[in-house]
Each structure stands twice: as structure tokens, then as C-alpha cells.
Amino acid sequence: MEKRILGIILSLAGLAGLIIAAVYFINSSGGSGKRIKEIAVYAILGAIFFFSGIGLIRNTKDKAT
């Protein structure tokens, strides 16, 4: 059960990172190098957290007690 909870937390953190990246992408005007790096970092880390959390949830089997 602890692995599923960790998976949910990772998924939510990843989703938050992807949302932040999307908001920065929508609100950016022009091609400032610093802003592009921020968007890339949030998007990459968000995707890693999201997909690792989803994988953890899917691959964890609950045992009957």
C-alpha cells in the first residue's frame, strides 16, 4: 500500500510540474533563453515524476491480509 501512496504522490507532483510548464509556456512572450530553460526543466521533471508514479501504481500488486 505504501508504494501506491508514493506512486500517487509522484503522479501528483509530476502533474503539477507539467501544469506549471504549460502555464509558463502560455504566458511566455518571446524567446528568452532563461524562460525556455525553465519550461524545459519543469516539463522534463514533471514527465519523469508523472510516468514513474503511474508505473509504480500499475506495477504494485495489493496483497490480501
pTM (2 decimals)? Answer: 0.82
Q: How much is the pLDDT for 3?
A: 87
For the stretch 56-62, contacts whose Cβ atoms lie closer than 8 Å and that sit 24 or more positions apart, written own/partner, are 56/3, 56/4, 56/6, 56/7, 56/10, 57/4, 57/7, 57/8, 57/11, 60/3, 60/4, 60/7, 62/1, 62/4
pLDDT single digits (tens) 6-55: 999 999 999 999 999 999 889 877 666 778 888 999 999 999 999 999 99
Q: How much is the pLDDT for 10?
A: 95
Q: How much is the pLDDT for 64?
A: 60
Domain boundaries, the chain: 2-59
